[in-house]
Amino acid sequence: MPRISDYLETIEPELANTARLFGMEGQLEAFRRDCREEDGKYVITFRGENRSATRSAEIPSDPDPRVEELHRKRTARRLCKQTLYDLCRQISGIQPPWGSLTGVRPTHLMLEALSQGLSEEMAVRRLTEDFDVTREKAELLARIAGVQRELPAPGDAWMDVYIGIPFCTTRCAYCSFSSGEIGNGSLVQPYMEALTREMRAGAEILRESGRQLRALYVGGGTPTALPEKEFRMLMEFMKEVFPGAAEYTVEAGRPDTLTRGKLRAIREAGVNRISINPQTMNDRTLREIGRSHTAEQVREAYALAREEGINHINMDVIAGLPGEGLADFAHTMDEAVRLAPESLTVHTLAIKRSSPWGEQQIAYQQGRGEAAPLPSGETAAKMVRMGRETAETLGMRPYYLYKQKYMAGNLENTGYALPGHECIYNVDIMEETSHILALGAGGISKRIYPEEGHIGRAPNVSNIEVYIARTEEMILRKRELFL
Ligand code: SF4
């Protein structure tokens, strides 16, 4: 029978994430830890800087030994992280907006609480009391859960399809893909040949599995970075092999990659949602972040898309970009209101170490080189609030949310949409409640086993050249997963 210490053997990275919420990851090693089982309970104590925190929880039991094992492991790990959180909170006096939540999808917790029969108010209280989430964030989750419950429910009979186009015109400064993963154009032809083979095989897998296509999403990279001829071929082939989805999305992230011809190909393929993403409407910042377009090109792309009859455009913006203050973000929000997208995703900047900016910021913190100053967590929080107010001005509701590591102010990314314009694929990918067949370099296919609380994965390699060389192996992985 495993003991509490067995369940905690590999918990160090998660503890580091908890300590990082307070900027205390460097102090973790100095904290003393005591984990024991006492009177049918797990009891954990952390001590450091003349303070201590202790928490306990009933040891779960279940007639099914596998379920029992899962619950015990989850309880022990959660308890350990929360006890460390209590100690860091005592020492620092800081309340992070998402409390002790790390490595867990916050909406899962809200949906779990509601599915257990808790009222919305009780579910909000559980999040604020058990996980120290601020009331503002817990209420946001409750609103999101309410919208998600209106959407068509996923289920075993359905499958989403993702098609990845890993090409971009330039590399954004915050992009954490390696340049070997974001192609430079010379690989377009062989990549599209490999992808076409995988798409055909993917359609076979979908058919043989007996499932229906739910939502199809073409992402990247920037799919519209493909030359017009290849882009049209992709759209036509997509519609031929994957007909009948309720939702087709194509990311057209960089406005300077859109042409009238590509927009027509999008419309003729039955795509009913595209994404044109300024990230910011300030030209100075656009130059800083390495995007090769201007705010004016964003306006032109929106006008062109409307002229071509596209009636659902999503807009992505980023709060917390280096060098930006509240006035800059307010300007982006004013422009968003003028452009009137049907959905708006407000991201918070996350600088990963592997991005060009990650390297630059590390060097800057070590006293080497220059870097634009990052807005404080407080300023980023005000921007995120401004994003929510803008979405409300546009008549939108929040419908999905996720957190990532290294986000400014430990904040979040939130998707807002006009009622009826929620992107099912976005919800599915974040909530991990739907099977996903992912095609193309870097795509990760997922098979959901709800009974076991388990997700089976078949990842495609992300390096484009390796993907081209090993496409058949990627197909086989997916056949094994789904059939
Ligand atoms: S558009 Fe996306 S994938 Fe392309 S460089 Fe920018 S962040 Fe990376």
What angle (nearest 5°) sits at the alpha carbon of residue 147, between those of residues 408 and 70? 70
What would the two tokens of residue 47 be?
Answer: 């001590």
Measured by CA distance, the residue closest to atom 4 of ligand 1 is: 221
In the block, residue with structure tokens 């909406």: 107
DSSP, res 8: T
Q: What is the pLDDT of residue 368?
A: 78
CA distance 119 to 115: 9
Q: What is the pLDDT of residue 367?
A: 75
What is the mean pLDDT of the segment spanning 467-473? Answer: 98
For CA atoms 60, 64, 65, 66, the dihedral sign is: negative
Instruction: Give the phi and the psi of residue 462 in degrees, each rounded to 5.
Output: -95, -20
What would the two tokens of residue 469 be?
Answer: 């060389």
Report the nearest atom of ligand 1 relative to the CA of 177: 8
Counting ligand 1 atoms within 8 A of each CB, the residue from 171, 224, 293, 317 with the most, and so the one to mutate, is 171
- For residue 277, the SS3 value is coil
362, 281, 270: which is closest to 312 by C-alpha? Answer: 270
User: Terminal CA-to-CA distance of the chain, rounded, Å?
Assistant: 34
Q: Tell me, in angstroms, the distance from the centre of ligand 1 to residue 277's CA.
A: 11
The pLDDT tens digits for 242-257 are: 999 999 999 999 999 9
Measured by CA distance, the residue closest to atom 8 of ligand 1 is: 175
What would the two tokens of residue 138 be?
Answer: 């817990």
Measured by CA distance, the residue closest to atom 1 of ligand 1 is: 221
Q: Would the pLDDT of 373 be above 90?
A: no
For CA atoms 216, 446, 418, 410, the dihedral sign is: negative
What is the mean pLDDT of the segment spanning 255-266? Answer: 97
429, 274, 280, 272: which is closest to 346 by C-alpha? Answer: 280
pLDDT band at 179 (very low <50, low <70, confident <90, very high): low
Q: Which stretch of DSSP H or E encloses residue 473? A: helix 471-482
Residues with CB under 6 A from ligand 1: 168, 171-172, 175, 177, 182, 220-222, 253
What would the two tokens of residue 263 be?
Answer: 């927009």
- Rounding to the nearest 10 degrees, give the CA dihedral for residues 324, 326, 328, 329: 100
What would the two tokens of residue 292 be?
Answer: 């090769």
Report the nearest atom of ligand 1 relative to the CA of 170: 5
pLDDT band at 344 (very low <50, low <70, confident <90, very high): very high
Q: What is the pLDDT of residue 370?
A: 76
From 5-9, 109-113, 174-178, 429-433, the region with the lowest mean pLDDT: 174-178
What is the mean pLDDT of the segment spanning 36-48? Answer: 96
**Which amino acid belongs to residue 265?**
A
What is the pLDDT of the chain when averaged over all its residues?
Answer: 94
Q: Answer whether 356's CB lies under 8 Å from 175's CB.
A: yes
241, 144, 256: which is closest to 197 by C-alpha? Answer: 241
The pLDDT tens digits for 449-466 are: 988 878 999 999 999 999
Measured by CA distance, the residue closest to atom 6 of ligand 1 is: 172
CA distance 449 to 472: 26
Q: Answer whether 27's CB lies under 8 Å from 19's CB.
A: yes
Report the nearest atom of ligand 1 relative to the CA of 254: 1
Percent of the chain residues past pLDDT 90, beyond the cut: 83
From 59-68, 192-201, 209-218, the region with the lowest mean pLDDT: 59-68
Q: What is the pLDDT of residue 84?
A: 97
**Which amino acid belongs to residue 87?**
L
Measured by CA distance, the residue closest to atom 2 of ligand 1 is: 221
Q: Tell me, in angstroms, the distance from the centre of ligand 1 to residue 189's CA.
A: 20
**Which residues are paired to 58 by β-bridges?**
41
For CA atoms 349, 352, 356, 360, the dihedral sign is: positive
Report the nearest atom of ligand 1 relative to the CA of 166: 3
Q: For the chain, what is the total number of helices (H) and then of strands (E)?
A: 17, 14
Measured by CA distance, the residue closest to atom 7 of ligand 1 is: 175
User: Across the beta sheet with 413-417, what order do the strands follow?
Assistant: 397-402, 413-417, 343-348, 313-319, 273-275, 247-251, 212-220, 158-165, 435-439, 444-449, 454-459
User: Across the beta sheet with 32-38, what order do the strands follow?
Assistant: 32-38, 41-48, 51-58
Percent of the chain residues past pLDDT 70, beyond the cut: 99
What would the two tokens of residue 157 be?
Answer: 């009979």
Count of CB atoms situated within 10 Å of the CB of 481: 17
235, 304, 230, 224: which is closest to 266 by C-alpha? Answer: 235
Q: Tell me, in angstroms, the distance from the centre of ligand 1 to residue 99's CA.
A: 30
DSSP labels for 335-373? HHHHH--SEEEEEE-B--TTSHHHHHHHHHHTT-S--PP
CA distance 316 to 280: 9
**Which residues are paired to 245 by β-bridges?**
none
Q: Tell me, in angstroms, the distance from the centre of ligand 1 to residue 279's CA.
A: 11
**Which amino acid belongs to residue 430?**
M
pLDDT band at 177 (very low <50, low <70, confident <90, very high): confident
What is the mean pLDDT of the segment spanning 202-228? Answer: 96
Q: Tell me, in angstroms, the distance from the centre of ligand 1 to residue 185's CA.
A: 14
Q: Would the pLDDT of 146 be above 70?
A: yes
Q: What is the pLDDT of residue 365?
A: 66
Q: What is the pLDDT of residue 73?
A: 95
Instruction: Give the phi and the psi of residue 349 in degrees, each rounded to 5.
Output: -60, 130
* pTM above threshold 0.85: yes
DSSP labels for 93-114? ----TTTT--SS-HHHHHHHHH
The pLDDT tens digits for 95-119 are: 999 999 988 899 999 999 999 999 9
Q: What is the pLDDT of residue 450?
A: 85
Q: Tell me, in angstroms, the distance from the centre of ligand 1 to residue 222's CA.
A: 7
What would the two tokens of residue 123 be?
Answer: 């579910």
Q: Tell me, in angstroms, the distance from the centre of ligand 1 to residue 322's CA.
A: 17
The pLDDT tens digits for 264-314 are: 999 999 999 999 999 999 999 999 999 989 999 999 999 999 999 999 999
